[in-house]
Chains A and B, each alone.
Chain A
Amino acid sequence: MATDTVDSTVLLEIYRRTARIYHADCKFRQMISTGELAIVYYPVRGQEVLAAAMMTALEHDDYLVTIYRGLHDQIAKGVPLKPLWAEFAGKRTGTCCGKGGPMHITHPESGLMVTTGIVGSGIPIATGLGLASQLAGDGKVTVCSFGDGATNIGAFHEGVNLASLWNLPVIFLCQNNRYGEHTKFEFTSTTETVAERGVAYGIRSVRVDGNDAAQMYAAAREAVEHARAGHGPTLIEAMTFRFNGHVFGDPGKYIPKEELEAAMAADPVPRLREQLLALDISPSTLDDIDAQAVQEVEEAAAFALNSGQPELRENRLDVLSEEILG
């Protein structure tokens, strides 16, 4: 699909979200490296455009369920950077008062309903959100984001089957970065593609270059329209790559050097920039977007660092609907 099928204002919006993700990811890795932040972090470098394109196709109140490698999804969906960053740092000003942490970000105001640390477990929950929207007739679409590794757990098969059976407005977004933890997709999957597994459950299934903004956006748009029209779920297998190891600090020695080099040579972020320049968007426009993103990220990081710790009383709150005594 050529870039000219997607409006340049849409591509610019995707670039805006991409820039925020790109600079936030860089800043997180830098802060962890320097010891300013001591957290377990799952880098999203390489997968920015995919998330930005998907979420640009959604409305603000559509639902998102994502996983521990979710910073790109969360930023793209519109979770405000300051409380997001503060939650990653476990501070009282975080989206979840510091009780969720990097693997459990929730922000319903932005549609982000669950971030789970358990591979694949968000899939049946997304099906339930779809069920709620179908029953309520509220027109919302749920996007469920997961990696290729999740497609081998039972929850994937049960959740996709149920969503298909009940024709629910859910988009199953497999971000196929070709590695589940340290293991190659080919080594763990009996099928060549994830998309063909969706076909087996009778749902619309497409495989796209997730690193191409226009192609990814077009696929996302079609899936959203399909769901909103009441035609049920879509499985999007979006091909991408992870430029870092599974968790920050993992050198990723299991990734062949040539494979990593080829992927980095096709870096989706400069690729999107070039596509925009080819559409006569001026370099200064893009530079301004980057500068703006850097500023927002710096402000968010400072906000997180300067925020206080949660009150210890928080441990008695939100366990049950009543405060725990004693």
Chain B
Amino acid sequence: MSELITFGQAYNLALAEAMENDEQVILLGEDVGDEQGGGVFKTMYGLSGRFGTDRVRSTPIAEQAILGAAVGSAIAGYRPVADIMFMNFLTVCMDQLVNHAAKLRFMSGGQTAVPLTVTTTTGTGRQFGGQHSDWLEAWLAHVPGLKVVTPSTPADAKALLLASIEDDDPTIFIQHIALMRAKGAAPAADHRVPLGKAAVVREGTDITVISYGARVRDCLQVAERLADQVSIEVVDLRTIAPFDEETVLRSVVKTQRAVVMHEAVKAFGVGAEIASRIHEELFGQLKAPVHRVGSKYSPVPFNPGLEQDWTANGGDLEVAIRKVMG
């Protein structure tokens, strides 16, 4: 049996490797230094001890300053990783992200690149309530100039975070809170995941299920559970923006049916974009309209029963698959 690591460990390994490989990589964020605990989930523990508090800087609770300092150091040639503890806190620094990080390369006519990585966490399952659990990836994916990434396994987490840091564009790396201590196979030494490339994580012939992040696990479980009734192909997007249209369309050409699943609310989400693109390209070849599965249209509730009910799950996916299969 191969070695297992957690998402948190994968994240720590990627940061350490990136900092080891390139002295221009720096880390900014609240509580990221060892003295402050190495991050709220301890995923950055050991880095300031190893690389120094110049390169691993604990900041005040000031998201605009963290993101702005990351943008400024990025245009001066550094590769900052700005840790924004929870994804909801990105709303506090959207100006820096949307008006500056995403646009400075374009507005300068290519004179200033912004090789910045924002690491953040979100998701249900640990009852963080309405202001710490939202999935805002559709907001970010909608902004030209930003790349958005979220892993579904620890091995991919390490590879995708390294790829994000090495990439010359601003990238948002989203980690699911509830999976921080979940384990998966450790990455092989040569495991690399380029940004913008999806993976077919299970082959099938009847229907394609497209997802990303934690919800890929639901897709695989449902595929297993229904294996004797329907052959489900599962595509893990890995990078939400830019979206790997080629891999998705190739799969749907084969299966002629598709469902998209995410944890963000269904309305106006990434699923709408993917479903629409499939319809635009493959309308005549589809055996049924593409369906979407997303969480309920309300703020994320605190109560565990309500939170569980809110979150899109395997049962919701199964209902959608049955509808599409007819």
Contact = CB atoms under 8 A, between A and B. Distances in A.
B111 A106 contact: yes
B96 interface: yes
A290 to B, nearest CB: 32
B78 A155 contact: no
A318 B145 CA distance: 8
A31 B70 CA distance: 39
A81 interface: no
Chain A contact patch, size range: 35 or more
B109 A158 contact: no
Chain A residues touching B, majority SS: mixed
B69 A121 contact: no
B65 A161 contact: yes
A114 B75 contact: yes
Interface stretch (B30-38, B54-62, B206-214): B54-62
Contacts of A173: none
Nearest to A124: B68
A317 B108 CA distance: 11
Given A116-B99, A125-B68, A106 B104 contact: yes
Nearest to A100: B107
Contact of B100 (A94, A97, A114): A114
B290 interface: no
A265 interface: no
A45 interface: no
B105 interface: yes
Given A100-B109, A320-B145, A321-B167, A131 B72 contact: yes
Contact of A63 (B76, B104, B147): B76
Contact of A124 (B26, B65, B103, B168): B65
A319 B96 CA distance: 16
Contact of A99 (B57, B68, B109): B109
Given A154-B64, A162-B65, A135 B111 contact: no
Contact of A159 (B65, B70, B169, B242): B65
A63 to B, nearest CB: 7
A108 interface: yes
A69 interface: no
Contact of A114 (B26, B80, B104, B168): B104
Given A100-B109, A155-B64, A162-B65, A129 B75 contact: yes
A321 B168 contact: yes
Interface of B: 26, 54-55, 57, 59-60, 62, 64-65, 67-78, 80, 95-96, 99-100, 103-113, 144-145, 147, 167-169, 242
Given A114-B75, A319-B106, A320-B147, 8 more contacts: A95-B109, A96-B109, A114-B112, A155-B68, A158-B60, A162-B59, A162-B60, A162-B62
Counting from the closest, the 6 A-B pairs by CB-CB distance are: A128-B72, A124-B68, A132-B76, A106-B108, A96-B109, A158-B65
